[in-house]
């Protein structure tokens, strides 16, 4: 499988402060990669690097097979960026904005643009400056979809959208990915959106990735077991490298397992466990555990899990 | 809608799609020959990643729950004995064993547990509109 985005050893500092320090990232073509991280983790910097808006201080950035350098004009036609807080020239009307965009993208699909403007109820005569935050995002999505990009970068696309528009926007994005195999990177701290849309996940913390891979594999990687062991507490359990956390209250213990749960369950039964049951462990908790293992304070993280 | 998926659940989404389709077939909501939405349609309807839906469909096809007729669509297959039936019966036994342990901790006797199973089967049949067998 070829990669739509390939970054290796990427570093970037702003005014002496390192925003990215050693990013290794591969986003396969036709996948939707969720990019997760607390504010200031470096998400937007990564997206701007992929767009060619900023250059890396070190390392290589390859987008759609092209190594980013000084001249990437043709690439700009194939990569599109949507951000809820992106500045848009307020002097334009919606129809003018769309017309100028149509001139910039050779693959522009006029029929699709018209259909989506109607579906998202955007008033063509309104000034871009008068639009609500949600309408501005909708307008950007229309332009993105009509330009038929190979790579779509979405930076917090659902911020400020009401539920109805949000669903429409997500459906539109999914349909683009399904129909045309558009590769997408979705930076968001709405975990539910990421869990719906993404098939891959990359967790950025403090300028580098602490976890990345197939979303379902990440979900299936960690397990939590509740066990009741009436006798002496078996120290072997604490020595098992896959047991990453033990919380005990008398005979009852909750074990967090990074790996297959069956061997640990079996170990518990051998030590006289009268109850071994698996309990739910959601993705936000998986992140906390991974980051905790990396030595980061859990208090510094804020996930919007709604 | 016969399909329910909770993306927040720890269970992988493709697994939830598989179980939902199998459940709908078992309940009779979907029958042999019924057409299922395409991967793209279902992904759009449920706002789910299309690769995830495609993966679920692939596994359902391998398990012969659905069949893909090229150029026509995806349909619910006729019931067949799955090829890995023995292994899956063993998994079922393991789950029953877990139930027995749970029942013990809830201070249910063996008879209570069996009665609970019967009541549940009866309720299930009534939901399907076939109270007696």
Best of B49, B91, B101 to substitute, by most chain A Cβ atoms within 10 angstroms, is: B49
The answer to whether residue A305 scores a pLDDT higher than 70 is: no
Best of B18, B41, B45, B50 to substitute, by most chain A Cβ atoms within 10 angstroms, is: B50
The answer to whether residue A205 scores a pLDDT higher than 90 is: no
Nearest CA in chain B to A170: B47
Alpha carbon of B54: minimum distance to chain A alpha carbons (Å): 10
Mean pLDDT of chain A: 88
Residues of B with CB under 8 A from a CB of A: 7-15, 39-40, 43-44, 47-52, 55, 98, 101-102, 105
Nearest CA in chain B to A32: B49
Residue that the structure tokens 């078992």 belong to: B26
Domains, chain A, with CATH or none: 3-206 (3.40.50.300), 218-300 (3.30.70)
Per-residue pLDDT tens over the stretch A215-265: 988 888 889 999 999 888 888 888 888 998 888 988 899 999 988 899 999
Q: β-strands A17-28, A3-14: how paired?
A: antiparallel
Give the pLDDT score at A290.
Answer: 80
Pairs of CB atoms within 8 A across A/B: 70
Q: What whole-number distance in Å separates Cα of residue A289 and Cα of residue A294?
A: 9
Give the pLDDT score at A161.
Answer: 85
pTM of the predicted model, to two decimals? 0.80
Closest partner CB to B47 (pick from A171, A215, A219): A171
Question: E strand or H helix at B78, and its extent?
Answer: none
Give the pLDDT score at A296.
Answer: 64
A167 DSSP 8-state letter:
H
Give the pLDDT score at B10.
Answer: 84
Query: Which is higher by pLDDT, A285 or A253?
Result: A253
Q: What whole-number distance in Å separates Cα of residue A52 and Cα of residue A62?
A: 10
Q: Do A175 and B11 touch (CB under 8 A)?
A: no
Is the C-alpha dihedral spanning B130, B131, B132, B133 positive or negative? positive
Q: What is the mean pLDDT of residues B45-69?
A: 93
The answer to whether residue A98 scores a pLDDT higher than 80 is: yes
The answer to whether residue B56 scores a pLDDT higher than 90 is: yes
Architecture of domain B13-76: Orthogonal Bundle (1.10)
Q: Do B7 and A177 touch (CB under 8 A)?
A: no
Q: A285-306 b/e with 16+ CB inside 10 Å = b?
A: bbbebbbeeeebeeeebebeee
Question: E strand or H helix at A283, and its extent?
Answer: helix A283-293
Nearest CA in chain A to B103: A275
Q: What is the mean pLDDT of residues A265-291?
A: 86
Per-residue pLDDT tens over the stretch B63-107: 889 999 988 899 999 877 766 788 888 889 988 988 898 888 888
Give the pLDDT score at A302.
Answer: 47
Q: What whole-number distance in Å separates Cα of residue B16 and Cα of residue B20?
A: 6
Q: pLDDT over 90 for what percent of chain B?
A: 49
The structural domains of chain B, with segments of one domain joined by +, span: 13-76, 85-127
Q: A196-221 b/e with 16+ CB inside 10 Å = b?
A: bbbbbbbbbbbbbbbbbebbbebbeb
pLDDT band at A81 (very low <50, low <70, confident <90, very high): very high
Is A196 an 8 Å CB contact of chain B? Answer: yes
Is A139 an 8 Å CB contact of chain B? Answer: no
Q: What whole-number distance in Å separates Cα of residue A107 and Cα of residue A124?
A: 22
Per-residue pLDDT tens over the stretch A107-139: 999 999 999 999 888 999 999 999 988 889 999
pLDDT band at A1 (very low <50, low <70, confident <90, very high): low
């Amino acid at each position: 499988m070829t990669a739509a985005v390939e970054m290796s050893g990427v570093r970037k500092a702003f005014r002496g402060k390192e925003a990215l320090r050693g990013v290794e990232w591969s986003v396969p073509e036709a996948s939707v990669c969720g990019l997760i991280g607390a504010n200031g983790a470096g998400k937007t910097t990564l997206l701007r690097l992929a767009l060619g808006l900023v250059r890396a201080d070190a390392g290589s950035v390859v987008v759609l097979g092209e190594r980013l350098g000084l001249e990437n004009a043709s690439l700009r036609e194939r990569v599109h960026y949507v951000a809820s807080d992106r500045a848009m020239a307020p002097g334009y009307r919606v129809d003018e904005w769309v017309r100028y965009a149509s001139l910039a993208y050779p693959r522009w699909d006029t029929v699709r643009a018209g259909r989506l403007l109607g579906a998202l109820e955007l008033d063509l005569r309104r000034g871009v400056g008068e639009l609500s935050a949600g309408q501005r995002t909708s307008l950007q999505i229309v332009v993105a979809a009509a330009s038929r990009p190979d790579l779509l970068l979405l930076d917090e696309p659902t911020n400020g959208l009401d539920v109805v528009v949000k669903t429409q926007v997500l459906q539109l994005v999914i349909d683009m990915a399904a129909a045309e195999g558009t590769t997408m990177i979705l930076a968001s701290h709405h975990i539910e959106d990421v869990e719906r849309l993404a098939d891959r996940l990359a967790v950025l913390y403090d300028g580098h990735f602490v976890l990345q891979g197939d979303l379902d594999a990440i979900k299936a990687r960690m397990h939590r077991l509740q066990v009741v062991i009436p006798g002496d507490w078996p120290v072997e359990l604490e020595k098992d490298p896959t047991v990453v956390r033990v919380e005990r209250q008398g005979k009852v213990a909750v074990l967090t397992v990074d790996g297959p749960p069956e061997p640990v369950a079996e170990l518990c039964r051998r030590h006289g466990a009268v109850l071994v049951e698996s309990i739910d462990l959601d993705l936000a908790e998986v992140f906390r555990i991974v980051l905790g293992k990396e030595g980061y304070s859990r208090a510094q993280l804020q996930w919007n899990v709604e | 809608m016969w399909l329910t998926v909770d993306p927040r659940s720890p269970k992988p989404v493709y697994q939830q799609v598989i179980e939902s389709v199998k459940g709908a077939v078992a309940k009779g909501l979907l029958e042999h020959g019924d057409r299922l939405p395409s991967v793209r349609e279902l992904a759009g309807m449920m706002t789910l990643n299309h690769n995830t839906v495609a993966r679920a469909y692939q596994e359902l096809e391998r398990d012969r729950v659905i069949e893909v007729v090229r150029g026509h669509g995806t349909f619910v297959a006729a019931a067949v004995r799955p090829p890995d039936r023995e292994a899956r019966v063993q998994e079922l036994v393991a789950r029953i064993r877990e139930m027995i342990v749970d029942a013990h901790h809830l201070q249910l006797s063996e008879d209570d547990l069996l009665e609970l199973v019967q009541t549940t089967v009866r309720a299930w049949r009534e939901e399907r509109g076939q109270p007696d067998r």
